[in-house]
Amino acid sequence: MLKTEVMQLKKFFLALRQSSTYLLAIVLGAILAVGAYPVLPSQAGSVPTTLAQRSSIPNMANPSSFVTAAVDRVGPAVVRIDTERTITRRIDPLFEDPAFRRFFGNDAFSQLPQERHLRGQGSGFIIDRSGIILTNAHVVDQADKVTVLLKDGRTFQGQVQGADEVTDLAVVKIDGKDLPTAPLGDSNQVKVGDWAIAVGNPLGLDNTVTLGIVSTLQRSSAQVGIPDKRLDFIQTDAAINPGNSGGPLLNSQGDVIGINTAIRPDAMGIGFAIPVNQAKGISSQLARGEKIQHPYLGIRMITLTPQLAAENNQDPNSPFMVPEVNGVLVAQVLPNTPAAASGMRRGDVVMEINGQAVTTADQLQRIVENSGVNQSLQVKVQRDRQTSTISVRTGELPGATS
């Protein structure tokens, strides 16, 4: 009887050990399954399983690599531009009066400095291997001496070939050969939210790179606070500081999409760049020293809405009543201008130009700028309660430089 009980106990422990082995295998299998889950395809098939699929995923372990590649591509073509300008001071005729000289002595005013040297700094980038450099007009404005410093340490004397104040663009030439160049992109393809990389020499700190995005497009120069320009800027939050002016704004591929030009001193993290397509159209003319023609009408204008018109008409001190419509109010007609010669008047509201509806001053400005000089425009205006069409022939904006 005892022998039989012993055999039963052996069978029990053997079965128990086998069950434990199976249980351990199940647990280990579950652990391995959980650990392997992230690399297995989901039911939706969204996780790549082939080598080709996995290679298309961005390397998030090094997200800045596209910036490095873009700067490596363009950086050697970005230059620093140092300028010098000599200002001659005129001595007040009062100091030449013999009575003053007898009182103070003949040599009292001979020590006054009659010349003063002003120095400036900006950026630019090479667009032709022979040494054609694109920059801002205000960087080289009235400069007597222009010195160009390349990233590799070479220094050249630059010659301003041409400048256009209206678009704030200029071309500088240096005597070089096989110089590095910056590839020009297409600013018409830029979208809000695209990466924006600013390269330049801000605050005297050479070869500085900042990263941001394109905040908005077609920000008019009037909105930026520089109404004497005719530009629709690319707005970016990439840091642009004094000294960045004239440097390139790049996309994620390293193509130039803009020329950094303006900052708002009263705003944080907002910069502006001239679309590169604007520069493409006139850079060759500037390189040849040609004057850039800009058409104009000769009016001061304000965007009009029914609400603004109603407020004006309710003001007892208003100089005139205006129609309560959407359009562009002519606030002033400048004398001896195409608008004055055509019979346009203060208080007219422009509704259409050549059959195209006009609702903002910026829109009217773009239409005129794109029309060309000496072109006839059919301008539909509302005057009081009457609507009429006035023919205006555009003139050349005076004061443009070359």
Catalytic residue positions, numbered: 138, 168, 245
Q: How many CA atoms lie within 13 A of 251 on its CB side?
A: 19
Q: How many CB atoms lie within 10 A of CB 27?
A: 10
Which residues have CB under 8 Å from 6's CB, separation 6+? none
CA distance 304 to 397: 24
